[in-house]
């Protein structure tokens, strides 16, 4: 039931964003320039799931992101990005019977490709504004690669393994124009995974244990979907492209 409500909510958000896109399409066509933005961000990534049931700020590990954005209308911006980060979680940090008995330790290398759309709440690209800034909301889709090592009690080790997860990134950000071209940003985002295979703590058969492996990992919840998070700051550079007015298109003689 919860999963259905989540899917319905996501569809409603996508429809609302789509309606805004078409509403502002005419405005976008009348703009005298288009913008694109290339940026770099640093921050931290963390994980919430089987080993860490709640978000823990102290679980954050270094992360780097590279992104590209392109405006499609006054409030909407298409975005694409690459996120590289580390994640770490310990059962011993959680005061719950399951975690204390299992005593798992997870180390993860994360690589994510994502695409989505930003909604700017203020007119960020209006050059007439003395101070240009805006909060924004974003949503999208991503494909992430988890490269995990899980250590269980009694030094039983599940070596580094690759797994791919599909996720829905969503979050809030704030950006401020340092100049006509340079921008400073801050962003907090969560990724909801759609499948239970990111942290590799599950009921699958295990074949690579160090010694005397059990057939199945015990004390797990196969219905517990994972989340991962990114929080960071960024610097970006905006490129401007002038648009030829409609009367001059197809008639270059008017430009002489």
Q: What is the pLDDT of residues 130-185, one digit of tens each?
A: 889 999 999 999 999 988 887 876 666 666 778 888 999 999 999 999 999 999 99
Q: Which of helix, strand or coil describes residue 161?
A: strand
Q: Which residues pair with 80 in a beta bridge?
A: 68, 115
Q: Which residues pair with 73 in a beta bridge?
A: none
If residue 18 lies in a helix (H) or strand (E), which one and from where to where?
helix 2-23
What number is the average pLDDT over the span 213-242? 77
What number is the average pLDDT over the span 69-76? 92
User: What pLDDT does residue 68 have?
Assistant: 98
Separation CA 256–CA 246 (nearest Å): 16
Separation CA 205–CA 213 (nearest Å): 10
CA 22, 26, 31, 34 dihedral sign is positive
Let me know: does 81 contact 111? Beta carbons within 8 Å.
Answer: no
Separation CA 115–CA 40 (nearest Å): 16
Whether the predicted pLDDT of 21 surpasses 80: no
**Topology classification of domain 2-244:** Porin (2.40.160)
By mean pLDDT, which of 34-43, 122-131, 174-183 is the weakest? 122-131
Q: What tokens appear for 121 in the block?
A: 């709440």
**Per-residue confidence band for 99, with pLDDT thresholds at 50, 70 and 90:** confident
Whether the predicted pLDDT of 70 surpasses 70: yes
Separation CA 196–CA 26 (nearest Å): 43
User: With left for phi above 0 and alpha for psi between -120 and 50, is residue 197 left, alpha or beta?
Assistant: alpha
Whether the predicted pLDDT of 235 surpasses 60: yes
Total-model pTM: 0.77
More confident residue, 214 or 245: 245
User: What pLDDT does residue 196 have?
Assistant: 57
**Average pLDDT score over the chain:** 78
> Look-up: residue for tokens 């058969």?
205
């Amino acid at each position: 039931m919860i999963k259905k409500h989540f899917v319905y909510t996501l569809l409603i958000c996508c429809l609302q964003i789509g309606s805004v896109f078409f509403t502002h399409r005419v405005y976008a066509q009348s703009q005298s320039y288009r913008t694109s933005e290339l940026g770099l961000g640093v921050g931290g990534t963390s994980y919430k799931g089987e080993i860490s049931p709640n978000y823990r700020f102290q679980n954050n590990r270094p992360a780097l992101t590279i992104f590209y954005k392109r405006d499609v209308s006054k409030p909407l911006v298409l975005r694409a990005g690459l996120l590289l980060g580390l994640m770490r979680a310990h059962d011993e940090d959680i005061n719950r019977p399951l975690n204390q008995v299992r005593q798992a330790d997870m180390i993860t290398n994360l690589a994510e490709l994502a695409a989505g759309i930003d909604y700017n709440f203020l007119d960020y690209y209006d050059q007439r504004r003395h101070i240009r800034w805006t909060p924004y909301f974003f949503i999208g889709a991503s494909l992430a690669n988890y490269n995990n090592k899980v250590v269980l009690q009694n030094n039983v080790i599940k070596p580094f393994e690759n797994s791919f997860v599909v996720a829905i990134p969503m979050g809030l950000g704030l950006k401020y124009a340092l100049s006509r071209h340079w921008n400073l940003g801050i962003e907090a985002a969560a990724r909801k995974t759609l499948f239970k295979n990111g942290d590799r703590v599950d009921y699958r058969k295990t074949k690579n244990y160090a010694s005397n492996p059990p057939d199945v990992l015990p004390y797990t919840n196969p219905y517990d979907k994972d989340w991962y998070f990114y929080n960071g700051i960024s610097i970006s550079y905006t490129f401007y492209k002038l648009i030829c007015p409609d009367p001059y298109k197809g008639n270059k003689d008017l430009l002489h």
